[in-house]
Amino acid sequence: SSPWTRLLPLGWFALLLPPPGTAEFSPSLDSDFTFTLPAGRKECFYQPMRKEASLELEYQVLDGAGLDVDFHLLSPKGETLVFDERKSDGVHTVETEEGDYMFCFDNTFSTISEKVIFFELVLDNMGEDGQDQEDWKKYVTGTDLLDMKLEDILESINSVKSRLSKSVQIQTLLRAFEARDRNIQESNFDRVNFWSMVNLGVMVVVSAVQVYMLKSLFEDKRKSRT
């Protein structure tokens, strides 16, 4: 389903874990989430990572005044790795160490407007593919006489898998861009309708005043003498 159709209440999502205002994702290779960040609020999430792995995070503000948010990415030691101030989107990739990485979206600078935020996590070198390759290698013995070795098949499968994963990631990001553009168009449509009604009201008032003024010019104001 499209990312903008999967909006979940933050209160319900926070029930998945004991610490309030945080959430954890399973160590999958690709995770995406869309949520509403209220005005004056800050929400943080964390992702467990392995040593010498790769964490790629992309976020976009889909809706809300200004289409901007503050973004922080912290290492397991609490060091600030990334800080984006009032940006509408961003892409960041870091080489990781063992521990929990925390990333936060901060909307405390806004006192009125809530923001709809979409983000996607792409994890590489998490160990699962390596284990699969080791399992495949157990069956390689005795295949030297084959024209195509199992290693070649495995390499082709991994290449196709990587390209498919990249295609899915790009399609997800395109859906997020489409959601943001649609929200902007709907907002502009509402503004056009509002100011059109204002202009129509002004025209009606001006027309009524003009008719009244014209009638007053042609009225016979002379009073008959008795």
CATH number for the domain spanning 55: value is: 2.60.120.680
Give the model's confidence band at 81: pLDDT under 50 very low, under 70 low, under 90 confident, else very high.
Answer: very high
pLDDT averaged over every residue in the chain: 77
The answer as to whether 13 is a domain residue is: no
Q: For residue 11, what is the enclosing H or E element?
A: helix 10-14
The answer as to whether 47 is a domain residue is: yes
The answer as to whether 18 is a domain residue is: no
The answer as to whether 181 is a domain residue is: no
The answer as to whether 150 is a domain residue is: no
Q: 212: which 2 tokens?
A: 């009244």
The answer as to whether 51 is a domain residue is: yes
Number of domains in the chain: 1
> From CA 92, how far away is CA 139, in angstroms rounded?
39
Give the model's confidence band at 131: pLDDT under 50 very low, under 70 low, under 90 confident, else very high.
Answer: low
State the maximum Cα–Cα separation within the chain, in Å, rounded to a whole number. 132
Q: What Å distances lie between residue 144 and 119, 121, 133, 154, 203, CA to CA?
A: 46, 40, 18, 15, 87
The answer as to whether 124 is a domain residue is: yes
**pLDDT value, residue 100:** 93
Q: 160: which 2 tokens?
A: 């196709």
The answer as to whether 80 is a domain residue is: yes
Q: In terms of residue numbers, what domain contains 41?
A: 29-128
Q: Are strands 69-74 and 99-106 parallel, antiparallel or unpaired?
A: antiparallel
**pLDDT value, residue 96:** 92
Q: Report the range of poorest mean pLDDT among 53-62, 64-73, 154-163, 197-206.
A: 154-163
The answer for 61, left when phi > 0, alpha when psi is -120 to 50, beta otherwise, is beta
